[in-house]
Amino acid sequence: MLEMTPPISGLSLANLRDTYEEIHNGHRHEAIDIIEPRGTPVRAVVRGTIRKLFLSKPGGNTIYEFDEKGEYCYYYAHLDRYTEGLHEGMPVQSGDVIGFVGSTGNADEGTPHLHFAIFELGPEKVWSRGTAINPYPGLVDAVKRSR
d(CA 140, CA 12): 9
Neighbours of 17 (CB within 10 A): 13
How near is the Cβ of 105 to Zn ion at its closest, in Å?
Answer: 9
SS3 59: coil
Nearer to Zn ion, 24 or 125 (CB): 24
How near is the Cβ of 91 to Zn ion at its closest, in Å?
Answer: 27
d(CA 22, CA 44): 25
Contacts with Zn ion by CB under 5 A lie at: 31, 33, 115
Amino acid at 11: L
Nearer to Zn ion, 51 or 115 (CB): 115
Nearer to Zn ion, 16 or 31 (CB): 31
Nearer to Zn ion, 32 or 92 (CB): 32
Contacts of 103 (CB under 8 A, 6+ apart): 38, 60, 78, 80, 109, 110, 111, 112, 113
Nearer to Zn ion, 49 or 56 (CB): 56
Alpha carbon of 72 to those of 18, 47, 124, 147: distances in Å?
20, 11, 12, 25
How near is the Cβ of 114 to Zn ion at its closest, in Å?
Answer: 9
How near is the Cβ of 115 to Zn ion at its closest, in Å?
Answer: 3
How near is the Cβ of 70 to Zn ion at its closest, in Å?
Answer: 24
